[in-house]
Chains A and B, each alone.
Chain A
Amino acid sequence: MNPTHDLSIWIGALLTLCVLSFLYRDNPFYKFAEHLFVGVSAGYYIVLNFWTVIVPNLWDPLSRSFAGQGVNAARTGMFAAELGDYRGWLVIPGLLGVLLFSRFFARVSWLSRWSLAVIIGVYAGIKTTGFAQGDFVAQVQSSLVPLWTGQVASSLNALIFTVGLITSLLFFFYSREHKGALGAASRLGIFFLMVSFGAGYGYTVMSRVSLLIGRFQFLLHDWLGMR
């Protein structure tokens, strides 16, 4: 065992132990770590967003554009924009960003709706076309599989897939009472859904255990120097 001399790792390790102490019971060490985490995260992300969003995307390009320059050094002019080099026109998204803060003032809060309208409009457009191309059409297409592939194993696989797909979809068909053939099919659909929930649960456990493993590896390797 060869504990590190790095102070930052010591702080990280002690805070990890403070958080893990909650498993025994709520206590002041956990509370301290929790409050510290919330405060530091809020401060960190405000500063991070300022330097990684506002400065490179708005402040720097606008400053350069006021001097008549932009990404493309060959072109000069405050409004000589091209794709990827928006120059003085960035005042418009900047203004829309500022308008979002009008929500803090009741009398002019309606102004924020202009910004929200742009955000919602752009993202609705991007999401809808992306979903239609990437998910809807491609998934429907790949669901149309031949039931007989020439091989018993893959044909059985295709059959199970098709039955699972249809019965799972029928489970979500609510326009008729689930009785008779529809009831039997939707009950079968539940079994397929349960298998999918089980797989999801198993993977969730794996993800959460991975986080614990990551913390223990940090404590053992980085902090205590055990290899």
Chain B
Amino acid sequence: MTKFLETLDRRWIFLAMGLLVLLPLMFPLSLPLTVSPRVRAFEAAIARIPDGSTVLMSCDYDPAGIPEMVPMTQTALRQLFDKNCKVVVTCLWNGGPGLVDNVVRGVAAEKHKQDGVDFVNLGFKEGREAVMVLMGQGIANAFPRDYQGRESRSLPIMLHVRDYSSFPLLVNISAGYPGVKEWVQQVQGRFHLPMVAGCTAVSAPEFYPYLQSGQLLGLLGGMAGAAEYEKLRNEKGSATRGMDAQSLAHVFVAICILLGNWVQWRKRREGGS
């Protein structure tokens, strides 16, 4: 057995992993999913803001982040639109505005929301943290024109938007730099704007201290976070559909780690004797 595992061609592992991901997508198992407190806190933070408020939503990702970022963006937008909130969307990743525009327009069409009145996509602005600081001196100063090329100040949604003080909440969905960390450092810390965040799973552990300190009111970590949020909102999106595959893949990785350690332990013991 040890010899077999030691000489096993890694391509069998790739094949097993591929099948474990592919098959549950074709034949869903509907494994149970528990909603974690940080996801409940994310949903509750949005639920607490007054109906009809104008919310800032920064979607800092590009097409590589679609599987994790898009489901949480859609669910957050649906929750905001259900509360009749107006949403001002920005993007600090230059590969993202087109994708983000599609996502925002898709949800807006679903909820019969009007561009420029109920939502606006201000598009991309180069400058990362400098843009965040500049937005504190006026949102329209940092984004004089929106993604469609219209003058931001002329849009009905922007009439009552001055700077960060115009928003009761910042929703940041981010796949890396610039993202959650920079928004916390430059905006939450400096302008004291309450904030919730969604991020890729790989960066989630880095943001737990912000959650513990109260700098983040809620956190969605990766596809699991997005799926929990969908469950809480009674939606069945792509994150929920992917969670069976996610769970089986994790069990498989855990088994591989255990077997790998067992083989190494046996080898060391045999070598010692």
Contacts and interface: CB of A to CB of B under 8 A. Distances in A.
Interface of A: 23-24, 45, 48-49, 52-53, 56-57, 71, 83-85, 122-123, 126-127, 129-131, 133-135, 138-139, 141-142, 196, 199-200, 202-214, 216-217, 220, 226
Given A45-B94, A203-B205, A206-B202, 14 more contacts: A45-B95, A84-B137, A85-B144, A126-B130, A134-B185, A203-B202, A205-B249, A205-B250, A210-B242, A211-B64, A211-B67, A213-B67, A217-B67, A220-B22
Contacts of B18: 23, 212
14 contacts: A24-B11, A48-B95, A84-B138, A84-B141, A126-B130, A130-B190, A142-B212, A205-B249, A207-B222, A210-B201, A210-B222, A213-B21, A216-B25, A217-B25
Contacts of B97: 52
Interface stretch (B42-50, B52-60, B213-221): B213-221
Given A206-B246, A216-B21, A138 B213 contact: yes
> Closest 7 interchain pairs by CB?
A84-B141, A214-B67, A134-B189, A134-B185, A142-B213, A130-B185, A207-B202
Interface string B112-133: 0000000000011110011001
Contacts of B202: 203-204, 206-208
Contacts of B186: 126, 130, 134
A126 B136 CA distance: 13
Contact of A57 (B126, B184, B209): B126
For chain B, give the interface size range.
Answer: 35 or more
Given A52-B124, A214-B67, A133 B189 contact: yes
Contacts of B222: 203, 206-207, 210
Contacts of A126: 129-130, 133, 186
B129 A207 contact: no
A210 B67 contact: yes
Nearest to B97: A52
A217 B238 contact: yes
B204 interface: yes
A213 B124 contact: no
B39 interface: no
